[in-house]
């Protein structure tokens, strides 16, 4: 298509916690500093900044992007914020990619920050304001209700049981024990998940990712610059994003068409024909346990309704044929919305470089994928990366 090739050359990520002592600016600063240090660059080497952060209501700051400028390294630089609800994290490298691929900038700092703990007593109150004011808000829906509906529909359509879905929580929380940023790494059993409180049937507490504070940052560079910065650039070879209708009650919730559409866009760009064979490691978005399965199907990594079986067979373990969420995902590492997506990008970056330490998947993976999802269950964002 004639764009410039873009590489990720550095990455940084703060610890994900329930209540950070740092201000949002400080969280962003910490991640940016780590990213710059990781590739021995300074803020002077950065041409522009792309900021990703989800609703203003979380941090309680109007025009949150403006507030974050100096923490995110945007002082006196071309600085633009982008936003696609919960999909923002994986859209942020796409936004940064546009900056560099278009030839307008050589290096781009991509920052994602979220501080959800400023919402008292819980961000669920802020989430009420994402619904339609006339048809939905009057019944005081919570996010968990609508995901309970989606999960129920998914289970019903394919005959999947709660035990099979609980395996995702068990796997991801265990994987997270090896992640230095993790908030909820622990060893649990399927029984623990089923015995945790029912939030809205069929969703139990341990099926849900926590609310978190945290930030992540990566540095993108055009090919001729990237090769000067590092011996091990990781290339962004495919990007895709797609937004479905806001009238979510009018679609069949059993399958995420928007994720498939986004994935096909990214696969076309990266020249991938058989995703289940060509993708070696994947980080689909898992804010709820069933979402990981749902997204594996949307990403065409397996047939519809088959993801639960792959999980039960151990295929999605780190040592399996198709490792899914080796980081621990949102369920284990934590879910500061935008930062989670970028955490997933960073995980694939480290896996492809062979620098994931205890989390490293075997077999020298060369191609990986990260995906996020959000808005009113309507957006899919996908990035395909290669070594």
Partner 1 sequence: MYKRVAIVGVGSTGFRPTTPDVSYRELTHEAAVRAYMDANIEPKDIDGFVSTSEDFLEGYSISDEYCNDQLGAILKPISTVPGDFIQSLGQAVMMVRSGVCRIVAVQCMSKVSNVLTLSHVVGFAMDPNYNRPLAMHPDFIAGMEMNRYLFETGSSLEQCAAVVVKNKRNALLNPLAGHGASVTVEDVLNSEWVSYPLRRLDVAPPADGAVVMVVAAEDVARSLNEMPIWIRGIGWCSDTPTLESRDWGSAVYTRLAAERAYKMAGIRSPRSEIDFVEISDEYSYKELQHLEELKLCGPGEAGYLTESGATEIDGELPVNASGGCLGVGHLFDANGGQKVLEVVLQLRGEKGKAQIPDARVGLAQSWRGVPTTTGAVVILSNE
CA distances from 182 to 167, 199, 299, 316 (A): 19, 23, 25, 20
Find the shortest distance in angstroms from Cβ 133 to partner 1: 7
Q: Which of 127, 267, 285, 373 binds partner 1 (CB under 8 A)?
A: 127
In 200-322, which ranges are continuous DSSP H helix?
223-229, 257-270, 275-278, 289-298, 307-312
Could you say which of 34, 43, 80, 254 contacts partner 1 (CB under 8 A)? 80
Q: For partner 1, which residue of 89, 202, 214, 240 counts as binding (CB under 8 A)?
A: 240
**CA dihedral (234, 370, 265, 375) positive or negative:** negative
Binding residue (CB under 8 A) for partner 1 from 161, 189, 195, 247: 247
Decide: is 43 part of the binding site for partner 1 (CB under 8 A).
no
Q: Does 135 bind partner 1 (CB under 8 A)?
A: no
Under DSSP, the state recorded for 332 is H
User: 193-220 burial string, b = 16+ CB within 10 Å, else e?
Assistant: beebeebbebbbebbbbbbbbbbbbbbb
Work out whether 133 is an interface residue with partner 1 (CB under 8 A): yes
Candidates 16, 29, 98, 147; binder of partner 1 (CB under 8 A) is 98
Q: How far apart are CA 188 and CA 185, in angstroms?
A: 9
- Vertex 292: Cα angle to 291 and 298 (nearest 5): 85
What is the spatial distance between Cα 30 and Cα 118, in angstroms, rounded to a whole number?
19
CB 373, CB 79: distance < 8 Å = no
**Total residues in contact with partner 1, by rule CB under 8 A:** 68
Using CB under 8 A, which of the segments 186-194, 212-220, 244-252, 351-359 binds partner 1?
A: 244-252
* Spatial distance between the Cα atoms of 215 and 318, rounded to a whole number of angstroms: 25
Q: Is 101 in the site for partner 1 (CB under 8 A)?
A: yes
User: Taking CB under 8 A as the criterion, which residues in 162-191 touch partner 1?
Assistant: none
- What's the CA gap between 99 and 107, in Å, rounded? 8
CB of 361 to partner 1, least distance (A): 30
Distance CA 287, CA 54 (A): 14
Assess 76 for contact with partner 1 (CB under 8 A). Answer: yes
**Residue 60 near partner 1 by CB under 8 A:** yes
Query: Does 73 sit near partner 1 (CB under 8 A)?
Result: no
* Piece in contact with partner 1 (CB under 8 A), picked from 35-43, 142-150, 237-245, 278-286: 237-245
Q: Which of 143, 148, 243, 370 binds partner 1 (CB under 8 A)?
A: 243
93 makes contact with partner 1 (CB under 8 A): no
Residue from 66, 163, 186, 313 in contact with partner 1 (CB under 8 A): 66
- CA distance linking residue 51 with residue 110, whole number of Å: 6
Q: Report in angstroms how near the CB of residue 118 gets to partner 1 at its nearest.
A: 8
> Contact letters (x/-) for partner 1, 263-302, by CB under 8 A?
--x---x---------------------------------
DSSP string, 91-104: HHHHHHHHHHHTTS
Name the nearest CA neighbour of 242 among 261, 255, 264, 256: 261
215 binds partner 1 (CB under 8 A): no
Binding residue for partner 1, selected from 22, 26, 45, 56, defined by CB under 8 A: 56
DSSP 181-225: T-SS-----HHHHHHSPEEETTEEGGGBPPP-EEEEEEEEEEHHH
307: contact with partner 1 by CB under 8 A? no
Which chain residues interact with partner 1 by CB under 8 A? Answer: 1-4, 23, 54-57, 60-67, 69-70, 74-85, 91, 94-95, 97-99, 101-104, 118, 126-127, 129-130, 132-133, 239-247, 257-258, 261-262, 265, 269, 374-376, 378-379
């Amino acid at each position: 298509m004639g764009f410039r090739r873009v590489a990720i050359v550095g990455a940084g990520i703060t610890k994900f916690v329930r209540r950070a002592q740092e201000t949002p600016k400080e969280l962003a600063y910490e991640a940016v500093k780590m990213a710059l240090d990781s590739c021995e660059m300074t803020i002077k080497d950065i041409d522009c900044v792309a900021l990703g952060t989800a609703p203003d209501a979380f941090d309680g700051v109007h025009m949150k992007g403006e507030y974050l400028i100096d923490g995110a390294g945007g002082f006196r630089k071309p600085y633009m914020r982008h936003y696609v609800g919960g999909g923002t994290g994986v859209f942020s490298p796409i936004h940064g990619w546009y900056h560099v691929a278009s030839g307008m900038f050589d290096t781009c700092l991509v920052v994602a920050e979220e501080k959800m703990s400023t919402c008292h007593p819980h961000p669920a109150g802020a989430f009420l304001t994402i619904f339609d004011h006339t048809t939905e808000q009057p019944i005081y829906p919570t996010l968990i209700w609508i995901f309970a509906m989606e999960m129920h529909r998914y289970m019903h359509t394919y005959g999947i049981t709660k035990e099979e879905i609980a395996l995702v929580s068990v796997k991801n929380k265990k994987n997270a024990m090896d992640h230095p940023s993790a908030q909820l790494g622990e060893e649990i059993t399927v029984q623990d998940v089923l015995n945790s409180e029912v939030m809205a049937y069929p969703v139990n507490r341990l099926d849900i990712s926590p609310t978190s504070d945290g930030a992540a940052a990566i540095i993108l560079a055009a090919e001729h610059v990237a090769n000067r910065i590092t011996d091990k650039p990781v290339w962004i070879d495919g990007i895709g994003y797609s937004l479905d209708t806001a009238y979510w009650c009018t679609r069949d919730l059993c399958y995420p068409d928007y994720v498939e559409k986004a994935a096909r866009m990214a696969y076309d760009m990266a020249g991938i024909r058989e995703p289940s064979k060509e993708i070696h490691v994947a980080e689909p978005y898992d804010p709820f346990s069933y979402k990981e399965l749902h997204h594996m199907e949307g990403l065409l990594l397996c047939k519809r309704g088959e993801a639960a079986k792959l999980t039960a067979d151990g295929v999605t373990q780190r040592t399996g044929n198709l490792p899914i969420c080796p980081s621990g995902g949102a369920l284990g590492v934590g879910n500061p919305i935008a930062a989670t997506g970028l955490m997933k990008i960073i995980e694939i970056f480290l896996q492809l470089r062979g620098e994931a330490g205890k989390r490293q998947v075997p077999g020298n993976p060369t191609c990986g994928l990260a995906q996020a999802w959000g808005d009113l269950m309507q957006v899919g964002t996908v990035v395909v990366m290669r070594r």
